[in-house]
Structure 1
Amino acid sequence: MSWTKWTRGTLAALAAGVLLPLGAAACTSGEARGGTTVSPSPVGKVLDDTDETGRNLREVAQRNAPQVAFEITPDSAGGWDVRLTLRHFRLSPPGTRPAAAIGRGLAHLFVDGHRVARLRTPTYHLAAGRVPHGTHQITVRLYADDGTVWAVRGKPVQSTADITVSGAETGTG
């Protein structure tokens, strides 16, 4: 995994996360929350392993796997604009049935390990108040619509970058 450090005072315009592959998968399993058992899938395998939020990993092959990367850039009001880049993966619209499907789902945005948003579009505005002064880890992770975490080789499919909010900036929340 590669880490990119972003300092708000710098003129650079991009903090990019790495691409991690994910294989295409399909199933019709139920919710995977709080230790709920998820039914097996004809494509991919629901593992006993979970991410730190307690959601089961759904292991898929690396071949033709969906990938996620993102860029995060400061805006003029002190917040951050997040733009996802997805390969072999489509974000599901609101109201989608809670079942895993090939190359579909949603992304969760984390700041320092705490989920701040569920993303169903490739762009998101992260308000300044969500990222206080200091260095913070931003992660975007892919989930199936049933709540399982897409995984390859036992690792969640995600992208992570560090950003630093300097004391010289004033932000509004």
Structure 2
Amino acid sequence: MSWTRRTSAVLAVCLLVPTAVAGCDDGAAREPGGGQSSPAGRLLDDTDEAGRPYREVRDEEAPEVGIEVQPDTSGAGWDVRLTLRGFRFSPAGTAPEASPGRGVARLFLDGRPVAQLRGPEHRLAAGLVPRGTHQVTARLYADDGSVWAVDGEPVESTADLTASGSEPAPR
């Protein structure tokens, strides 16, 4: 094999597997705000309210989430259903590494975290939702805890929920 062929082979490996081969990775893809992208996006300096960094992906590669909230059949809570495109839930115990289109969803009620989901359905207990109109948001996270984002905005969906039951008695 000539020197030219060996160089071409090494360059091809570095292009196909940029972070798996020693000497090919310059570390920029793992640093917040780094200029290099990986298949799992690029970490931004922006963070969510809990300090988790946004992981920017191109619009055409981004996962999508939709949310629907309905009273459950017993009237004792709310059924939350997510519809997903380009996203798969990771099972418990998954390594804390970002993989394209994988992770968990976090559910927020009026901006407060209420659940981490590893599947598309969840039941909100009626006791969590006081009388009035509220916003329920589902936001997608990678397995490393970063927030999937497009154009600097988190990949999320919000639905309104109106609870009309009686107000809890004061204590």
The TM tier, using the shorter chain, reads 0.7 to 0.9
The aligned residue for residue 128 of structure 1 is 126
* Contact 2:33–2:42, Cα closer than 8 Å, also in 1: no
1:93 aligned to 2:91?
yes
Segments of 5+ residues of structure 2 without an aligned counterpart are 1-18, 21-30
Runs of 4+ that moved beyond 6 A = none
Matched, 1:119 2:105: no
Classify 1:49/1:159 alpha carbon distance in 2 versus 1 (closer, same or farther; 3 Å).
same
The structure with the largest helix share of the pair is 2
The aligned residue for residue 61 of structure 1 is 58
- Count of residue pairs brought into register by the alignment: 136
Matched-pair identity in %: 61
Q: How is 1:16-95 mapped onto 2 (pairs within 5 angstroms)?
A: 42-43=38-39, 44-75=41-72, 76-95=74-93
1:53 Cα offset (Å): 1.7
Using the TM superposition, give the Cα deviation of residue 157 of structure 1 relative to its aligned residue in structure 2, in angstroms: 0.1
Pick 1 or 2: higher relative contact order, CA cutoff 8 A, min separation 6: 1
Residue of structure 2 in register with 1:162 after alignment: 160
Higher Rg of the two aligned structures: 2
User: RMSD of aligned C-alpha atoms?
Assistant: 2.2
Q: TM-score, normalised by structure 2?
A: 0.73
Q: Distance in 2 between matches of 1:119 and 1:127?
A: 15
Structure 1 unaligned blocks of 5 or more: 1-26, 29-36
